[in-house]
Amino acid sequence: MSDSFRIRTARHEDLPAILAIFNDLIATSTVVYTETLVDLAERTAWLEARQAAGFPVLVAEEMPLQAGSSGASGVAGALGVEGGLQGAQVLADGRALSASRPVVLGYASFGTFRGSWPGYRHTVEHSVHVRADQRGRGLGTALIHALFAEAQARDVHVMVGAIDAENTGSLRLHARLGFVETGRMPQVGRKFGRWLDLALVQRTFPERAENDATDPGQE
């Protein structure tokens, strides 16, 4: 846990910031394989579906500044996409001075892998997204470590990630955190008028000591 941010469970009031981060990635990167911006209703449905299924959605939130802090300057511009955070005052390093809603710097989650087939119930697919102006602060590392704790509490055996092969920063981060690249799928995605390769990574957690007596087909 950093003294400048904390990781916590997402709430509905975080959705405008989550929307802004997601739409910025759609508009400016190949992290997400779509060019169509989403709206608040879509992100609300996503959050509620994850929570209803018992999956975690975590945010990295800026810790409030102490009274009397100095060195404040500047005003944040809009992200320039639908759902952007307009006019938030920030420090020179991008930290918020004040806001009417939580200052979310990034978020992470995991959900089902290959749908609801019961044989995959111990495997999840995760994603982690950090605001563009906040990268390099250790937010991605902290969010993924928090996902590890959530996964192990849910008896997850394997955590999978699907990462654009050009996103070398994310691939390096995942390698540092124990993920192994298991394959590449050439030209399976298309965005900005070109074909994209997808890298598959996974991290395997130690098996629980007790036997799994709930496998379908066991009598």
For 179-192, write each residue's pLDDT tens digit: 999 999 999 999 99
Taking residues 37-63, what's their average pLDDT?
A: 97
Q: How confident is the model at residue 116 (pLDDT cuts 50, 70, 90)?
A: confident
Whether the predicted pLDDT of 80 surpasses 50: no
Token pair listed for 182: 């298991």
φ/ψ of residue 11, rounded to 5 = -125, 170
Q: What is the pTM of this model?
A: 0.80
> What does the pLDDT read at residue 2?
64
Q: Strand order in 104-112's β-sheet?
A: 5-9, 57-62, 104-112, 123-130, 158-164, 194-204, 180-191
For the stretch 161-171, pLDDT in tens is: 999 999 999 99
For the stretch 7-34, pLDDT in tens is: 999 999 999 999 999 999 999 999 999 9
The full set of domains in the chain, from first to last, is 5-156 (3.40.630.30)
Whether the predicted pLDDT of 78 surpasses 50: no
Say which range, 78-92, 125-139, 166-180, has the weakest mean pLDDT.
78-92
φ/ψ of residue 51, rounded to 5 = -65, -40
H-helix or E-strand spanning residue 125: strand 123-130
Q: Which residue has the higher pLDDT, 87 or 194?
A: 194
